[in-house]
Chains A and B, each alone.
Chain A
């Protein structure tokens, strides 16, 4: 969107995405070290901070995985340097081992873990609710409801963390991180701190049994102070009204993005002045006094929260302990799966209140349109871009494993799309690195079937290396195809340890995948350029017939990066074209090779859309009839029938 917007003067009103607002909050609060691993919906936070790092003096890094990212930030916070680490919800799972210990340890400068959750699983393997991880790990959880709050609460969270000496989780969701809104920028309260302080303190930093018990007691003491402090948060808001529904005073409680949906829903239904509303932004620990006060002014409560009944469960327990007799409902009315929006919230609220006929729009009309449209709409899931270096490897894997009963454990990245037709070269995708982990299992259980695991370059470094060591050590037979396009592509071309530049654009040392696997003891290792289809096919055949673990690395840059570089350097992109005189309508290029730039003409012959073609030339190698050539060539030779 424009990282420059986040550098505008204090007091400016600018349009920002939630993640950009979080980045601005980090700048205003003097964060000096910011790390993360790419993951939707979090990636723009570090992307933005990296883009402006030369102006802010902040150190910004894309780390190999979320655990290392968090550990770097923790090291900074232990050394009295303010830090943050951002990741998607499942990324916190990866970092969790250290996160739990960090809460025992405490911090000597503000440390915020930003968790961007994905209710509705737009791009994730699950829709886990990380408020619960905050509970598990004794992290205060703060939930902003829109971009302005995302910025303001980031500043608040860093100050809170520093005052309490304890790490804090700022928890966002897609509807906050990717929401856009007008945001008023604040002042830069603190400058980047370039002077870390080292102090050896094994009482606080060494977690053997003694350290664990000592610091558990300290953690519990800090937690008492934190429970008091959240009561003072300016982001919680209670509005009590005196009216009744069927004789009962009604209260609604919401946190995070649910709050803004609730506000819209109440306005639309004309209920604003008729119900009490409690906005909770410091979700963990639940602010007891605030909630009890609210409960005392109502008879019935509906908790409007997305995903798990986190607040609902806590508030029911609170009411029980305090002997407050209030009817408390939540998931009976509010969906536990998927994202909330104003329509769903309105539906839940009206059912809770026993009201009929109140809605945003004629639901029947909306459903009728959807139904008519769904009957004729073709699906449009994401696909590999034209020119993707993975298409030839997929095509070759299909060809070489046909009839051999293969099992394809897969992993997370652009290549994950390979599970879809026409390729279907992936059978499982579970979590980062699970492909080769599962391959260890499948090769044990099905020793007579070819096991071929696809893994990307970023995933390789993030998680796959231990699983490869395990396979070598136990002499499993499997073929690992590493797809190396130089970047973490699916999330926006971020760098990883195999890249030649770091997040801030500085040259960095490339870790070579083939050297790593050789170091792990793999004997059969080949590196192939997927631009050569025959070489690609032969390499896979050789790997499939090798004993033990075999690795083929396909290496070519992500096409989006290649094209961008060509545009920058002025090198022309020369599209390819199908010669209709030679094309026999065999359909291989658009049906089996399936590049989105290749379409089907009425007579079944192929045609390439020049605005979509990147000139990679891969389709030309796949055509059995030599009918595909670069445009210049065809025009130059003036072939008969060339269009």
Chain B
């Protein structure tokens, strides 16, 4: 059976610091899409991910894409697990795109040893909004703690995405099934909880008119 027909493509960039779980988030999103029947292309830039460096993944779901790489200035959504990493990938977003940013910084060593300064969240937001995209701030660590698993911030972020963006016809249950495929039994419940908390936050924001659709 071939993949499901789709009228459109959803291009998502996931940016963060090595160790924050961006690659797992990309895999869960991709698996949810496959479970829902869609074709998926994507890429993990993972070479030195373990060592706290910048990491980025691309996930492309739906109709057209053959290339795993989202062209610059064409992404619909930027999931920024960390504010400066979100800024590092801000040029990927199209006009009218949405940046979902986890507000807590992970200070790079360059800043700690005094070689560089960390930009303020306000400045980061203004660069993105000046470029014609929208910003949604999330306290992902707060929600992850609420879910009982601080390292599940990646599932919180995916949940927010699921709640406030039209992810084609990929529903919460597809995400949950993807989590079950991606984690060991012991870790599944906490991650599903984190996903749901993020989802509720996403829905709330959508209802307040701040979120947006795929196109």
Interface residues of A (CB under 8 A from B): 1-2, 5, 13-15, 17, 40-41, 122-123, 146, 174-175, 178-182, 257, 259-261, 263-264, 267-268, 341-343, 346, 360-363, 365-370, 372-373, 376-385, 414, 417, 421-422, 490, 492, 560, 590-591, 594, 596, 598-600, 611
Contacts and interface: CB of A to CB of B under 8 A. Distances in A.
A594 B27 CA distance: 32
30 contacts: A15-B34, A146-B66, A178-B44, A179-B41, A179-B42, A179-B68, A180-B42, A180-B59, A180-B68, A181-B41, A181-B68, A257-B68, A341-B71, A343-B71, A360-B74, A361-B73, A369-B90, A369-B127, A373-B90, A378-B110, A378-B111, A378-B116, A379-B108, A380-B54, A383-B51, A383-B53, A590-B112, A596-B52, A598-B112, A600-B112
B34 A179 contact: no
A180 B52 contact: no
Interface of B: 1, 3, 17-18, 23, 26-27, 30-31, 33-34, 38-48, 50-54, 59, 64-69, 71-74, 84-85, 87-88, 90-91, 94-95, 107-119, 123, 127, 130-132, 150, 181-182
A180 B181 contact: no
Contact of A365 (B40, B67, B131): B131
A591 B72 contact: no
A267 B71 CA distance: 13
Nearest to B119: A376
Contact of B72 (A123, A178, A343, A384): A343
Given A13-B3, A179-B41, A182-B39, A380 B64 contact: no
A14 B68 contact: no
Given A360-B71, A361-B71, A122 B47 contact: yes
A538 B16 CA distance: 40
Given A379-B116, A380-B85, A590-B112, A180 B71 contact: no
Contacts of A373: 87-88, 90-91, 127
A379 B90 CA distance: 15
Contact of A175 (B40, B68, B115): B68
A339 B52 CA distance: 23
Nearest to B3: A182
Given A15-B27, A180-B26, A180-B42, A264 B67 contact: yes
A376 B71 contact: no
Contacts of A40: 46-48
A422 B53 contact: no
Contact of B73 (A5, A346, A366): A366
B64 A342 contact: no
Contact of B45 (A146, A178, A362): A178
Contacts of A377: 84, 87-88, 119
B181 A5 contact: yes
Nearest to A5: B181
B69 A490 contact: no
B28 to A, nearest CB: 9
Given A179-B68, A379-B116, A414 B108 contact: no
Contacts of B150: 611
Contacts of A182: 3, 30, 33-34, 38-40
Contacts of A421: 113, 115
Contacts of A611: 150
A264 B91 CA distance: 19
B43 A382 contact: no
Given A180-B30, A365-B131, A383 B64 contact: no
Contacts of B132: 365
A380 B84 contact: yes
B67 A342 contact: yes
A414 to B, nearest CB: 7
Nearest to B131: A369
A324 to B, nearest CB: 29
A590 to B, nearest CB: 5
B119 A261 contact: no
A197 B39 CA distance: 44
B48 A382 contact: yes
B165 to A, nearest CB: 20
Contact of A366 (B54, B66, B72, B117): B72
Contacts of A263: 66-67
Contacts of A560: 50
A180 B109 contact: no
B54 A385 contact: no
B84 to A, nearest CB: 6
B73 A360 contact: yes
Contacts of B130: 372
B43 A175 contact: yes
A108 B108 CA distance: 53
Between B34, B40, B94, B127, the greatest number of chain A beta carbons within 10 A of the residue's beta carbon is seen for: B34
A382 B53 contact: yes
Nearest to A267: B64
Contact of B27 (A2, A174, A417): A2
Contact of B18 (A5, A180, A382): A382
A372 B127 contact: yes
A341 B91 contact: no
A421 B116 CA distance: 13
A123 B87 CA distance: 23
Given A417-B51, A421-B115, A376 B123 contact: yes
A180 to B, nearest CB: 4
A591 to B, nearest CB: 5
A600 B111 CA distance: 9
B31 A15 contact: yes
Contacts of A382: 18, 48, 50-53
A174 B69 CA distance: 11
B113 A594 contact: yes
A60 to B, nearest CB: 21
A458 to B, nearest CB: 15
Contacts of B59: 180
Contacts of B182: 1-2
A602 B64 CA distance: 50
B50 A385 contact: yes
10 closest Cβ contacts across the A-B interface?
Answer: A361-B73, A382-B51, A382-B53, A378-B116, A123-B47, A179-B68, A360-B71, A382-B48, A260-B66, A369-B91
Between B46, B87, B90, B131, the greatest number of chain A beta carbons within 10 A of the residue's beta carbon is seen for: B46
B90 A180 contact: no
A414 B52 CA distance: 12
A13 B53 contact: no
Given A261-B66, A377-B88, A383-B109, 18 more contacts: A13-B34, A175-B69, A179-B41, A179-B68, A180-B30, A260-B66, A264-B65, A264-B66, A341-B69, A343-B71, A361-B74, A373-B91, A378-B84, A378-B117, A380-B85, A382-B53, A490-B50, A594-B113
